[in-house]
Amino acid sequence: MDRVKGKIIVITGAASGLGLADSRVLAREGAQVVMTDIDPDAGQTHANEIGAHFITQDVSEEASWRHVMNEVESRFERLDGLVNNAGIAPIANIEDTTTDVWRRVMGIHLDATFWGCKSAIALMKKSGGGSIVNMSSTAALIGLSPYLAYSAAKGGIRAMTKSIAIHCRSEGLGIRCNSVHPGSISTPMVHKALKSLMGTDLMAEEDPEKTRVALGIGEPEDVANMVLYLLSDESKHVTGAEMVIDNGDTVI
Ligand SMILES: NC(=O)c1ccc[n+]([C@@H]2O[C@H](COP(=O)([O-])OP(=O)(O)OC[C@H]3O[C@@H](n4cnc5c(N)ncnc54)[C@H](O)[C@@H]3O)[C@@H](O)[C@H]2O)c1
């Protein structure tokens, strides 16, 4: 209990899946959570249920970051944590990927993580430090052929995270920056992919829990517990690290 007590933490893409699980776990552990998402209905509903503050945000718009950080500063006076989590995962290999899909994926993952980190650091500096968690993927480590743009963007996030971590350390900013690399985790994004790539509808299975385990798919809390650790002071000596949560899939 209280592992992030009193910390002000912004989570993007918080209306669903991993961002929602992060929000619940962090709020339970004492944080004041600020949830943002492009979906205001689901976002506001879940924020009310969690006791979090909600801001509508399209992370791929630079101006949205000024809006979010201004609101956080005026309402809470500081920022202690940011989880750059919002994402999309269109299924398209190198031959199928259009320039529009490429740019959309880069906007939501790479541009947004850049603007998120830049604006968070400016605010965190004022109160002496903080912790940033960038949601990458095992796609950054192995490259997935049906996810060309996604793999490229997640690889960029991995390298950007390390660059930011070392800058913050050498400047003595007291700000840590780490990336998280989940394998397949049971969220709407993965359910959609399973249907399209394998013809499997996890939620329509007689025993979805048994099928989830049989397919080697993790639970959102498996990732949320790592995010909690990285945002807490327990990880004060951890920066520039890539935390893989895939039950060993990328090792074998
Ligand atoms: N689920 C997995 O297996 C898995 C594995 C590796 C990485 N990830 C990453 O975790 C993150 C969350 O994925 P998820 O599985 O929870 O997906 P999800 O589809 O359940 O949730 C994604 C959330 O992001 C929001 N979003 C989409 N575009 C947005 C935008 N432009 N601005 C703001 N919000 C936006 C959506 O509305 C949604 O609430 C993503 O970055 C994803 O790439 C997921």
Question: DSSP letters along 223-244, please?
Answer: HHHHHHHHHSGGGTT--S-EEE
Output the CA–CA distances (angstroms, integers) from residue 146 to 130, 136, 139, 196, in the order listed: 36, 17, 10, 11
Q: Measuring from each residue's beta carbon to the nearest atom of ligand 1, which residues come in under 6 Å?
A: 12-13, 15-19, 37-39, 57-60, 85-89, 108, 135, 137, 182, 184-185, 187-190
Helix (H) / strand (E) element for 82: namely strand 81-84
Question: Is the pTM above the cut of 0.85?
Answer: yes
Say how far residue 98 (Cα) sits from the centre of its chain. Answer: 25
Alpha-carbon torsion, ordered 184, 1, 177, 24, to 10 deg? 50
Hey, which of 187, 192, 249 would you mutate to test ligand 1's pocket, going by the most ligand atoms within 8 Å of its Cβ?
187
Task: Please give the distance, rounded to the nearest whole angstrom, from the Cα atom of residue 13 to the centre of ligand 1.
Answer: 6
Task: Please give the distance, rounded to the nearest whole angstrom, from the Cα atom of residue 73 to the centre of ligand 1.
Answer: 25
Q: What is the pLDDT of residue 200?
A: 86
Task: Please give the distance, rounded to the nearest whole angstrom, from the Cα atom of residue 190 to the centre of ligand 1.
Answer: 10
Q: What is the pLDDT of residue 204?
A: 86
Residue nearest to atom 25 of ligand 1 (CA): 13
Hey, which of 34, 37, 215 would you mutate to test ligand 1's pocket, going by the most ligand atoms within 8 Å of its Cβ?
37
Measured distance CA(137)–CA(180) in Å, rounded: 7
Which residues face 54 on adjacent strands? 35
Instruction: Mark 212-229 as b/e (b = at least 16 C-beta within 10 Å).
Output: beeeebbebebbbebbbb
Q: State the catalytic residues.
A: 150
Residue nearest to atom 43 of ligand 1 (CA): 87
**Which ligand 1 atom is at minimum distance from the Cα of 59?**
32
Instruction: Mark 55-77 as b/e (b = at least 16 C-beta within 10 Å).
Output: bbbebbeeebbeebbebbbeebe
Per-residue model confidence as pLDDT tens digits over 202-249: 888 899 999 999 999 999 999 999 999 999 999 999 999 999 999 999
Domains and CATH numbers, the chain: 8-183+218-245 (3.40.50.720)
Q: Which residues does 140 contact at the CB level (< 8 Å), separation at least 6?
A: 151, 154, 155, 157, 158, 179, 181, 242
Length of the chain, please? 252
Q: What is the pLDDT of residue 142?
A: 97
Residues of the chain with confidence (pLDDT) below 70: none
Look-up: residue for tokens 């995010």? 227
Tokens representing 27 are 């709020």
Over 21-63, what HEC string results?
Answer: HHHHHHHHCCCEEEEEECCHHHHHHHHHHHCCEEEECCCCCHH
Hey, which of 189, 195, 244 would you mutate to test ligand 1's pocket, going by the most ligand atoms within 8 Å of its Cβ?
189
Task: Please give the distance, rounded to the nearest whole angstrom, from the Cα atom of residue 16 to the centre of ligand 1.
Answer: 7
Measured distance CA(44)–CA(46) in Å, rounded: 6
Residue nearest to atom 20 of ligand 1 (CA): 17
Measured distance CA(17)–CA(33) in Å, rounded: 16
Task: Please give the distance, rounded to the nearest whole angstrom, from the Cα atom of residue 233 to the centre of ligand 1.
Answer: 26
